[in-house]
Structure 1
Amino acid sequence: MTHIAQSWKALLVTAALTLPSLAFAADPAMMKDGMMVDQKGMTLYTFDKDKEGQSMCTGECATMWPPLMAPMDAKPTGKWMPIKRDDGTMQWAYEGKPMYGYKMDTKPGDTAGDGKGGFWHMYRH
């Protein structure tokens, strides 16, 4: 292998190892037009049945209401903290409230989950 090819391979390996950690260097979500949205602009929701720092939405619930996932090595950032789900994965919580998307929201700005079942609410600031 030539020196240039080896250097290129080393650069690609370094980028592959570094980029995932950089993806969560900033807050995992943001406020837009008074509501919390993820990095893709999709509305985030809270679930009234959750306990402080603990998700109660598992199984089929988590399929319909996908958790805002955090990497396994996530660290708290500002008002965001990673919480461990029952299945061992990590989820982001804002001010102790686990955050979720809604499967029926198909584009940024959709809010079809707000008020669903009387337990789901957009996170508003």
Structure 2
Amino acid sequence: MNQTKQKPPGRVKSAIAGALAGWIGVPLGLESGAFWSAWFGGRNFTGESVTVNSTLQLSTAWACVRLLADTLSTLPLNVYRESGDTKTLAKDHELYRLLHTRPNADMTAAVFWQVYVACLMLWGAAYV
């Protein structure tokens, strides 16, 4: 059988070409706010604004965020003390309780890491 590669729909290609048309030959830097907001913070080529709130209204997106956050929050996080070639669990270190057991009075470690991972995935940053 002769298998040929299918080309992407023309409208996707034309949307990308149209979006880039105004920027060809223009020097870009990190401070080029108009360019970066057009690509990452503004509207997409369909004209719809995509925000964290609009994303979480999709059950599939919410399920993906929750699955990853729930799974990663259950991984063990320990503090080790290194001496030479050996590493030993440092339960007496002041960070052990914060990272492994209870980071604050309102959350268990699992809940804390769920929130942390969800913030990383949705906003691209998490502040502790």
Give the TM-score normalised by structure 1: 0.25
Larger Cα-atom Rg: 2
Q: Which has the higher strand share?
A: 1
Q: Which has the higher helix share?
A: 2
Higher relative contact order (CA 8 A, sep 6+): 1
